[in-house]
Structure 1
């Protein structure tokens, strides 16, 4: 059993909410029987890691103002007597903890200028010694105090910025951290899978739910796709990276890694990824929603708007021979995809799709009209708010206008019209 972490209520885009990802040097993966097995901490074998995680979080929570290298040394000390903790695992923990905080930076290069000034002032008293005597009169502490007085700052303040442009010496300013020790361990497991995906050349996902979320995040991760319907409720989605034709695996492997947390947040899916290895043998990474990994992203919302939710509750699962399915179809043409909000299936074989426009802009409506033209061979109803229509605008047969909620009588009339056309 793996650790589970609570997720936030709202999701953000892959590019803006990209959480800590490891480097290849921090990746731990075992290859066996043509399969890849990223390092994974479980509650059975690694239950004692909960205490380690608690101590690691305390180091950073109490470490505001300390330089990075001191924090890392304290993390290393926690695992001194732990035989089951390779160096890469410790380095991975440090990376995840670092990325959950904010460190002092020096974008304007003031640290370099300050060092030049201080070293120039100190050079006048060279050599500096810890204990001055008759031969060496310049004591280090005395000269530091003199320089601080000249600059009008305490030496402690000077020391905090003297090496702020050197990564190891940057000081921790804020630590957002993780909700609890289990969240840190859960994040570690996902980060190791992400690092394994750096070697991926292609990813195949079989999905039975949350198509819209999967495709939206794949687009944000700049993945190309091929889509095939497997059965009535399952699609096979093959993703490849934009740089695949250039044979730059690491570049689009990172795109797969960015996409992974969104996939983990979805329901009813399984995935395989083809990995490139140094010995040129094909290796597969396999995952599914049953494996128990937790995303830092929340599960997709069941409905995009209150209008959709209200309509779905009012219509029910079936009405007058029509069965209602939420996001049951993917329409695709080359790299353009469209997942309508609802699919209506009649017992006689008629299928009608419906997209509900809730929040809208003129640009959004124009895009939806273009989408309808692209997929005009399908029966699609577009439900639009009355306030979005211009005065005198022509309303097509497939347009359902609503004020605050969809009227079922108007909808049923359009559905029946489509059904008559289908049967004639």
Structure 2
């Protein structure tokens, strides 16, 4: 969903941004509407996007409380699950030229013979189809396939149920509200590592602190691929939301800037009833980590065992979750952190973070192109070009255990 379909109430009295949300009580009629939407698209193979959209509009015309943006949002969500026939090879314009030039020789076309007007539309269409070695139905389907609203539905994946469509609507409107976010703060009492992993997938930079009640506070400021602050950070936060919804025991506040530059806050929690649409999370955050773990599995690593993100350390208000923990049969634990393509700001933050965990045995593996100031207590880092090799890691582990 885009900003054009977003429906947000900005409450100046409370300073809150409140995205549109359909509820069972107030919006019970929408369950029936959603079923009709699914029926329209399921049976609509071959119809144009414009025809399908018009059918959705007709259904919602029966509602006395349906803003235009809500209608647009449903059409957008239905189209997200649809595949339309596009103009393969950009042939539509050429086809139109051929058809119109051929039809022009028989102008005007009529539906029935009237005096000197004897060029029947049906006959001319059949003549053109014969010339092009196509059926008229094929020509009609391709004639405007380069115009989005005239593209025809080829496949509809659909939603599992009307309830699933409505649940997706509620999440999508909340995501759209986050497009204007400058910052997102999450307080959580569980699923800490899951939150961090979804944040990494969304390419969000984060800072963490431990609260007095044992919970953690995560502050997200933007995608790690962007070097300077930007309102585009909100798009990454919107991508992160479905992952957060899959976790338990959390609440969140986002700082929102609307199109007029006024600031509001968006408040969320695990008790809001929003349902996660997140795909199953990948086990690793990068190819470097995945390849290293796979190589470790088949290598002869002796007494050393590899654990994935099994540690969550905190020093004062700072928290550190290393990429891997290496443990030998004597209980010696070495934390392995891989430094990849990070921004200068994030590298500085990581350096400061590592300085707070000097009491832990931390081994760093640094991508060759990365300019990272290695904290002195971490020792000499492993520098690698593309792939982190198990033999290099094992060599450092032997040095540490001697």
Per the alignment, do residues 330 and 64 of structure 1 end up closer, same or farther by CA in structure 2, a change over 3 Å counting?
farther
Match of 1:29 in 2: 8
Residues 136-161 of structure 1, C-alpha deviations (whole Å, 9 max, x = no match): 22221111010001111110111111
Q: In structure 2, the residue corresponding to 1:241 is in which secondary structure?
A: strand
Distance of 1:302 and 1:166 partners within structure 2: 41
Deviation at 1:180, TM superposition (A): 0.6
TM (norm. structure 1) is 0.69
Distance of 1:198 and 1:225 partners within structure 2: 18
Match of 2:295 in 1: none
2:68 paired with 1:84: no
Q: In structure 2, the residue corresponding to 1:65 is in which secondary structure?
A: coil
1:241 maps to which of 218, 222, 230: 222
Equivalent runs, 1:312-391 vs 2, <5 Å: 328-329=312-313, 338-339=321-322, 377-379=358-360
Per the alignment, do residues 34 and 75 of structure 1 end up closer, same or farther by CA in structure 2, a change over 3 Å counting?
same
Match of 1:314 in 2: none
Per the alignment, do residues 31 and 146 of structure 1 end up closer, same or farther by CA in structure 2, a change over 3 Å counting?
same
Q: In structure 2, the residue corresponding to 1:191 is in which secondary structure?
A: helix
Match of 2:98 in 1: 117
CA contact under 8 A between 1:329 and 1:340: conserved in structure 2?
no
Q: In structure 1, the residue corresponding to 2:218 is in which secondary structure?
A: strand
Residues 42-65 of structure 1, C-alpha deviations (whole Å, 9 max, x = no match): 112112211111111011111111
Distance of 1:169 and 1:78 partners within structure 2: 20
Match of 1:127 in 2: 108
2:200 paired with 1:216: no
2:226 paired with 1:230: no
2:168 paired with 1:187: yes
Deviation at 1:276, TM superposition (A): 0.8
Deviation at 1:203, TM superposition (A): 1.0
Per the alignment, do residues 233 and 391 of structure 1 end up closer, same or farther by CA in structure 2, a change over 3 Å counting?
closer
Name whichever of 235-244 and 110-119 sits farther off: 235-244
Per the alignment, do residues 378 and 167 of structure 1 end up closer, same or farther by CA in structure 2, a change over 3 Å counting?
farther
Deviation at 1:329, TM superposition (A): 3.4
CA contact under 8 A between 1:266 and 1:300: conserved in structure 2?
no
Distance of 1:112 and 1:151 partners within structure 2: 15
Q: How many residues align?
A: 338
Q: In structure 1, the residue corresponding to 2:25 is in which secondary structure?
A: coil
Equivalent runs, 1:383-402 vs 2, <5 Å: 393=395, 395-396=397-398
Distance of 1:261 and 1:392 partners within structure 2: 38
Deviation at 1:281, TM superposition (A): 3.8
Distance of 2:393 and 2:23 partners within structure 1: 62
Distance of 1:353 and 1:183 partners within structure 2: 45
Deviation at 1:120, TM superposition (A): 1.4
Name whichever of 50-59 and 271-280 sits farther off: 271-280
Distance of 1:224 and 1:138 partners within structure 2: 68
Distance of 2:312 and 2:394 partners within structure 1: 34
Deviation at 1:225, TM superposition (A): 2.1
CA contact under 8 A between 1:341 and 1:355: conserved in structure 2?
yes
CA contact under 8 A between 2:312 and 2:321: conserved in structure 1?
no
Match of 1:145 in 2: 126
Higher relative contact order (CA 8 A, sep 6+): 1
2:256 paired with 1:272: no
Match of 1:347 in 2: none
Deviation at 1:122, TM superposition (A): 1.1
Deviation at 1:244, TM superposition (A): 8.5
Per the alignment, do residues 224 and 328 of structure 1 end up closer, same or farther by CA in structure 2, a change over 3 Å counting?
closer
Per the alignment, do residues 365 and 222 of structure 1 end up closer, same or farther by CA in structure 2, a change over 3 Å counting?
closer
Distance of 1:268 and 1:244 partners within structure 2: 30
Q: In structure 2, the residue corresponding to 1:105 is in which secondary structure?
A: coil
1:100 maps to which of 81, 86, 92: 81
Equivalent runs, 1:275-314 vs 2, <5 Å: 275-297=256-278
